[in-house]
Amino acid sequence: MAARQDLYQHPDYYLMDEMLSDEHKLIREATREWVKRDVSPIIEEYAQRAEFPKQLVKGLAEVGAFGPYIPTEYGGAGLDQISYGLMMMEIERGDSGVRSTCSVQSSLVMYPIYAYGSEEQRRKYLPKLASGEMLGSFGLTEPNFGSNPGGMVTNIKDMGDHYLLNGAKMWISNAPFCDIAVVWAKNEAGRIHGVIVERGMEGFTTPETHNKWSLRASATGELVFDNVKVPKENLLPNKSGLGAPLGCLDSARYGIAWGALGAAMDCYDTALRYSKERVQFDRPIGGFQLQQKKLAEMITEITKAQLLTLRLGQLKNEGRATTAQISMAKRNNVNMALEIAREARQMLGGMGITGDYPIMRHMMNLESVVTYEGTHDIHLLITGMDVTGLSAFK
């Protein structure tokens, strides 16, 4: 398959760039250049083969995409939340699966070790995770507990000098090759704790999930624990209860809100360029009112989402972004991106279903993004709960 030339130019209809600092723009440009050079030429082939391009790990670490907001003393990039968001936007512009790897590594593995871990755990794992020497995964979802993780049955038993871990996690990004997994399990009293499980521990296996039509350039699998002896020092000591994993999700969902924006912008940019080049009835198809309606609606939705997401980033920087605000942005942006991908795909006619253009890949990837980290419906119910004060889950 011939490598695709990446001609991407980002839409900025409301001059949002003027609201970014010079540092933000530098970080965004550096990430974009890396995506254009290292991701775009190879990603279609890897997605078609259903293989994670492991060679990207080094570059992701070098652009600072593993732990962008983790302090530098632990190997992170020490950046603000808007920088983190812009990186996720650029990386998902390349591919949602590559962004998934960064979300998991940064927000679901490094963040809990940083926020809930001991100083020894921080020093042992964070620098290696930041450099890409180690890759992590996050085990919350189980075969019978997806939207309702509080019902999990994976458990730890205190055996005196270690914990005995039993159970299974499903749909876990990066599971097949992770070096460590942050796993959520209940103790004898039913309290949820996080433990760090290392590859090589006896009884720990990570079978791969095959036959996905979505997120094909990301590896997904199970985490299976059969009487795994977990040393006591591997328990995250500083937070327990369902709020601990949900706190990690806040950070990952925030990154996904930015990421989905990137996928939407890539679909729009591709369709806009195509509409000016493709001639039917002796005119570029972009001159037809029906095609203009599609493009006008796309750029309107993208512009609204850009403003919503940047404001969320400002609130996150100030430590004021709420779970419900993050839910609204994740839900809105992923749905917006999915609708734009579907419309953009139609605008390319038959060419839209091929790997010569990125749209169909984005569209299929977004079917996972709209489901993981809380489904579209769950996020709606989080907003409903926030505005009414009444939980639809109980």
Task: Tell me which of ligand TGC, ligand FAD, none is bound by residue 267, counting a contact when its beta carbon lies within the kind-specific cut-off of 5 to 8 angstroms.
Answer: none
User: Other CB atoms closer than 10 Å to residue 391's CB: what's the count?
Assistant: 10
Written as six digits, the tokens of 303 are: 């512009």
Of 149, 176, 203, 284, the residue at the interface with ligand TGC (CB under 6 A) is 149
Phi-psi region of 227 (alpha: psi -120 to 50; beta: other; left: phi over 0): left
Helix (H, G, I), strand (E, B) or coil at 52: coil
Task: Tell me which of ligand FAD, ligand TGC, none is bound by residue 163, counting a contact when its beta carbon lies within the kind-specific cut-off of 5 to 8 angstroms.
Answer: none
Give the number of C-alpha atoms closer than 13 A to the C-alpha of residue 280, restricted to the C-beta side: 11
Determine the size of the site formed for ligand FAD (CB under 6 A).
21
- 141 near ligand FAD, rule: CB under 6 A: yes
- 254 near ligand TGC, rule: CB under 6 A: no
Of 117, 352, 368, 370, the residue at the interface with ligand FAD (CB under 6 A) is 368
CB 157 to ligand FAD: min, Å = 22
Q: E strand or H helix at 258, and its extent? A: helix 243-277
Give the number of C-alpha atoms closer than 13 A to the C-alpha of residue 343, restricted to the C-beta side: 24
Task: Tell me which of ligand TGC, ligand FAD, none is bound by residue 243, counting a contact when its beta carbon lies within the kind-specific cut-off of 5 to 8 angstroms.
Answer: ligand TGC
CA gap 345, 59 in Å, rounded: 30
Of 77, 104, 126, 334, the residue at the interface with ligand TGC (CB under 6 A) is 104
- 323 near ligand TGC, rule: CB under 6 A: yes
- 163 near ligand FAD, rule: CB under 6 A: no
Q: CB-based burial of residue 166 (10 Å sphere; 0-12 exposed, 13-18 middle, 19+ buried)?
A: middle
Instruction: Note every long-range contact of 323-328, with CB atoms under 8 Å and residues 24 or more positions apart, other chains counting.
Output: 323/246, 323/250, 323/382, 324/382, 324/383, 324/385, 324/386, 326/250, 326/253, 326/254, 326/257, 327/253, 327/374, 327/379, 327/382, 327/383, 327/386, 328/379, 328/383
- How are beta strands 180-186 and 192-198 bridged, if at all? antiparallel
- 95 near ligand TGC, rule: CB under 6 A: no
CB 27 to ligand FAD: min, Å = 25
CB 148 to ligand TGC: min, Å = 6
The Cα-based distances of 374 to 23, 146, 330, 341 in angstroms read: 32, 9, 9, 21
Closest to ligand FAD by CB, 348 or 360: 360
Task: Tell me which of ligand FAD, ligand TGC, none is bound by residue 249, counting a contact when its beta carbon lies within the kind-specific cut-off of 5 to 8 angstroms.
Answer: ligand TGC
Which residue do the tokens 């977990």 mark?
230
Written as six digits, the tokens of 33 are: 């250049």
Of 118, 147, 166, 317, the residue at the interface with ligand FAD (CB under 6 A) is 147
Report the candidate in 276, 181, 275, 194 with the shortest Cα–Cα distance to residue 223.
181
CB 257 to ligand TGC: min, Å = 12
Active-site residue set: 373
Of 3, 143, 349, 393, the residue at the interface with ligand TGC (CB under 6 A) is 393
Report the candidate in 76, 79, 90, 80 with the shortest Cα–Cα distance to residue 29.
90
User: Using CB under 6 A, which of the segments 126-134, 141-149, 324-332, 354-362 binds ligand FAD?
Assistant: 141-149
CB 365 to ligand FAD: min, Å = 9
Written as six digits, the tokens of 91 are: 């990386």
User: Using CB under 6 A, which of the segments 9-17, 110-118, 125-133, 147-155 binds ligand TGC?
Assistant: 147-155
- 240 near ligand TGC, rule: CB under 6 A: no
- 139 near ligand FAD, rule: CB under 6 A: yes
Give the bridge partners for 136, in sequence order. 180
User: Using CB under 6 A, which of the segments 28-36, 134-142, 188-196, 299-307 binds ligand TGC?
Assistant: 134-142
Of 27, 86, 88, 172, the residue at the interface with ligand FAD (CB under 6 A) is 172
- How are beta strands 192-198 and 155-158 bridged, if at all? unpaired
Asked if 242 and 192 count as a contact pair (C-beta separation under 8 A), the reply is yes
Of 84, 114, 116, 372, the residue at the interface with ligand FAD (CB under 6 A) is 372
For ligand TGC, the binding residues (CB under 6 A) are 100, 103-104, 138, 140-141, 147-150, 173, 241-243, 246-247, 249-250, 252, 323, 372-374, 378, 382, 391, 393
For ligand FAD, the binding residues (CB under 6 A) are 104, 138-141, 146-147, 171-173, 215, 220, 368, 371-373, 375, 377-378, 381, 393
